[in-house]
């Protein structure tokens, strides 16, 4: 073997050893997650429609910062925040600009933190062992398994005891789960990750991805009655509701709004703020603040 071939072979072996070492030492969640940031902005109404102002990066942190949701009083935002390679539950306070890290989970990461009807926080925990369950957390970091038998990817509370959930499996399913009785029933398949209780209603909404044209639909959890609301913005699957029962979606750097009897209307372009790939969104309970995620 020539000296050059030996050098090439040695380099390949060293590279393989390096990659193996990287896989073994880097947290699993960090390897799979993009570098994203959470932006907070004012949302107001003018004679021309919705207007956004003063975007602020409230995470300003390397790694995966995502999945924001407002507290019930609108004065703070929960989100999943990268902390030294793990994802923890963070709470950002609008008044002070301070961030409180609620969890410090050894060997696991929290995702999709959501305010529960009883004032605790529900969040999906993915352990490094691969175990993935929905937990409830207090501000002292105490946790309790809410759904012990199902691998939940995304969820939304529809009343004090029930959630609608994206449950992983073959196939993935949409399920209504009673966390008090630990019972569940399948009510759909081929859905997206964005699940929401509809303001002023007992129904919830979801994204039906059964066909090439994705459609946002609503379902009454008592009757299973389904209504098609609107086709989704092309290539987008994240959306949120305003208190006035409008839907906001993002695509690239642009924001769109829909309400019954209307088509999608573009109302903002955030490119000038270097926000160019909008994904998750959430509107405050009073409708005056909007948070978006972008990478």
Tens digit of each residue's pLDDT (9 = 90 or more) over 143-183: 999 999 999 999 999 999 999 999 999 999 999 999 999 99
Check which CATH number belongs to the domain holding 244 and give it: 2.120.10.30
User: Is 23 part of any domain?
Assistant: no
pLDDT over threshold 60, residue 212? yes
How many domains does the chain divide into? 1
State how far the Cα of 203 lies from the Cα of 220, in Å rounded to an integer. 4
* Structure confidence at residue 99 (pLDDT): 98
User: Is 1 part of any domain?
Assistant: no
Global confidence as pTM: 0.87
User: Is 56 part of any domain?
Assistant: yes
CB of 67 within 8 A of CB of 111?
A: yes
User: Is 63 part of any domain?
Assistant: yes
State how far the Cα of 50 lies from the Cα of 121, in Å rounded to an integer. 30
User: Is 150 part of any domain?
Assistant: yes
The arithmetic mean of pLDDT across residues 104-110, rounded, is: 94
Could you tell me which residues are beta bridge partners of residue 152? 167
Could you tell me which residues are beta bridge partners of residue 132? 126
Confidence of residue 142 (pLDDT cuts 50, 70, 90): confident
* Structure confidence at residue 141 (pLDDT): 75
What are the structure tokens assigned to 136, written together?
């409830």
The residues near 71 (Cβ < 8 Å, ≥ 6 apart) are 77, 78, 91, 115
User: Is 111 part of any domain?
Assistant: yes
User: Is 16 part of any domain?
Assistant: no
User: Is 28 part of any domain?
Assistant: no
Domain assignment of residue 120, given as a range: 45-294
């Amino acid at each position: 073997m020539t000296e050059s071939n030996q050098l090439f072979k040695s380099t390949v072996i060293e590279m393989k050893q390096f990659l193996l070492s990287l896989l073994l030492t880097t947290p699993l969640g960090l390897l799979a997650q993009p570098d994203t940031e959470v932006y907070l902005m004012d949302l107001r109404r003018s004679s021309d429609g919705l207007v956004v102002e003063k975007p602020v990066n409230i995470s300003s942190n390397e790694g995966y910062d995502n999945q924001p949701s407002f507290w019930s009083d609108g004065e703070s935002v929960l989100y999943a925040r990268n902390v030294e390679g793990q994802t923890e539950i963070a709470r950002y306070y609008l008044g002070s600009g301070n961030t409180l890290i609620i969890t410090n989970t050894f060997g696991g990461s929290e995702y999709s933190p959501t305010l529960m009807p009883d004032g605790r926080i529900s969040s999906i925990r993915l352990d490094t062992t691969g175990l993935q369950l929905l937990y409830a957390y207090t501000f002292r970091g105490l946790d309790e398994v809410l759904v012990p038998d199902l691998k939940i990817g995304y969820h939304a509370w529809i009343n004090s005891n029930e959630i609608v959930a994206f449950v992983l499996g073959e196939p993935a399913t949409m399920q209504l789960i009673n966390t008090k009785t630990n019972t569940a029933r399948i009510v759909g398949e081929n859905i997206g990750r964005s699940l929401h209780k509809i303001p002023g209603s007992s129904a919830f909404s979801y994204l039906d991805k059964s066909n090439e044209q994705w459609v946002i639909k609503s379902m009454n959890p008592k009757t299973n009655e389904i209504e098609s609301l609107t086709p989704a913005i092309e290539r987008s699957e994240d959306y949120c509701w305003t208190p006035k029962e409008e839907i906001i979606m993002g695509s690239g750097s642009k924001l769109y709004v829909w309400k019954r009897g209307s088509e999608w209307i573009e109302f903002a372009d955030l490119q000038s703020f270097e926000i160019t790939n909008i994904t998750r969104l959430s509107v405050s309970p009073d409708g005056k603040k909007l948070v978006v995620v972008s990478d």
